[in-house]
Amino acid sequence: MNYYKNIVSQILKMTSDGFIITDTEGNVREINKQYADFFGKSRSEIIGKSILNIIPNSKMIDIVKHKFSEEDAVHKYIDGEAKGNSVIVSRSYVEDEDGNVVAGVAQVKFKVQTLAVAKKLMNEYEELEYYREEFQNQNRVDNIIGSDPKFREIVKECLKVAKTDIPVLLTGETGTGKEVMAKALHTNSLRCDKPFVSINCAAIPFELLESELFGYMDGAFTGAKRGGKKGKFQLANGGTIFLDEIGDMPSSMQAKLLRVLQEKEIEPLGSEKSIPLDVRVVAATRQDLEAKMKDGSFREDLYYRLSVFNIHIPPLRERGGDSLELAEFFLDELNHKYKTYKTFSKAVKAYFLKYQWPGNVREVNNVVQSAYAISTENIIDINDIPARMLQQEKPAINLDKNKKSLGQMVDDYEKEVILELLKKHKGNCLEAAKEAGIHKSNFYRKLQKYGIKPAEVE
């Protein structure tokens, strides 16, 4: 008995709440220090006394006598050191094994403590609201980066369809920004205050995809989480689910997804009960689904369910100057984050505009981060650009066609560079040698070697 009494005593010391225990006559048998301090007394001054001596308007005797409980009731003290103070109190009675009432117990949350908790919750709520608004602002359709006229028309279409609940299929190459567009569809919809949940169908192993999408019950399969787990559809209920890489979904899962879209309900693994759904579906793929329908690897009925409205996002190489606009946007983010003022040189800007960007928007972000990290000056120059990117732009050399030795090919290239430098500097050999990074005497030797006359270069 003493063992359990010590445990209770330790718990009463640890909590920040006030606790008091009375017998059936209303005499105080235990009170923790926090509650005794509230009355300006020691524990020994209170224990053994009638609770009415401490709290004249206490309900503890009635609680014990009539066997009822109260939870989170407001109690105002009318006398003593605590006069005028209010607390939130929960009271109840305690029975023995035979059902006889043996004690009354009360838990008290002090006003200052309650206000502190309320203030903390309010601060957390305000912080969540801030991030929610940030998310919505960043993903608004009118904040999508890109000024290419054809791309802006696509963005306008996105804004129109966002106001509805119809399913949307986003198509385009990897890295074109399909998830950004999906978030914009959600943020500009009537569901913007509800969840946006995404899942990459190609990244989840086939044997786990069903449980990830629809969830499972406790004991549904070996290794299942105790208590079960909600699936992505259930988590997105009321909001939007984004099914990325839908073209990689196995045929058997396509049939189950089709049923969910038709019936608007899911049945978690191991459950015999269906859960109704209210979810807006946005899907995306890098693949040609019409071709996959023809070869039988994608269900035609599912395709028409998903593609009520189809938005094709063009690759960056077809969007004019958007590559440079995106690069400057990503650089601005880095400058803001690290409190710097870096910019791109004219050469880098020109290179970005002519580069094909096979990795699309994702590659732009990658290249800008790499160049930013490498650059030691405030102006990011061509030397800061990743070498792999520059190598991709080099023309392929057809050795069979050239029929020249390596030395001859190097000489041809060097001669061509010298001619371009002389044209650029209007025959000024000193300026041309300076840009070439060689001494003027060396430059003149090369002119003699290749028979180049600066005065004749136009």
Domain borders along the chain are: 2-113, 139-314, 317-392, 402-456
* Inter-CA distances, 178 with 44, 243, 415, Å: 70, 11, 46
299-339 tens-digit pLDDT: 999 999 999 999 999 999 999 889 999 999 999 999 999 99
- CATH number attached to the domain at 2-113: 3.30.450.20
pLDDT greater at residue 15 or residue 317: 317
In angstroms, the CA 415 to CA 405 distance is: 16
130-164 tens-digit pLDDT: 555 555 555 455 578 888 999 999 999 988 999 99
426 pLDDT higher than 70: yes
In angstroms, the CA 283 to CA 251 distance is: 16
The architecture (CATH level 2) of 317-392 comes to Orthogonal Bundle (1.10)
In angstroms, the CA 186 to CA 163 distance is: 9
pTM for the whole thing?
0.59
pLDDT grade, residue 404 (50/70/90)?
low
Could you give the angle at which helices 406-424 and 440-450 cross, rounded to 10 degrees? Answer: 120
* 402-456 carries CATH number 1.10.10: yes
Residue 65 CB-half CA count within 13 A = 6
> Hey, what CATH class is 139-314 in?
alpha beta
In angstroms, the CA 307 to CA 283 distance is: 8
Residue (of 133, 195, 128, 191) closest to 162 by Cα position = 191
393 pLDDT higher than 70: no
> Is the CB of residue 238 less than 8 Å from the CB of residue 278?
yes
Residue (of 193, 184, 190) closest to 156 by Cα position = 184
> Is the CB of residue 323 less than 8 Å from the CB of residue 330?
no
* Phi and psi at residue 180, to the nearest 5°: -60, -45
> Is the CB of residue 83 less than 8 Å from the CB of residue 94?
no
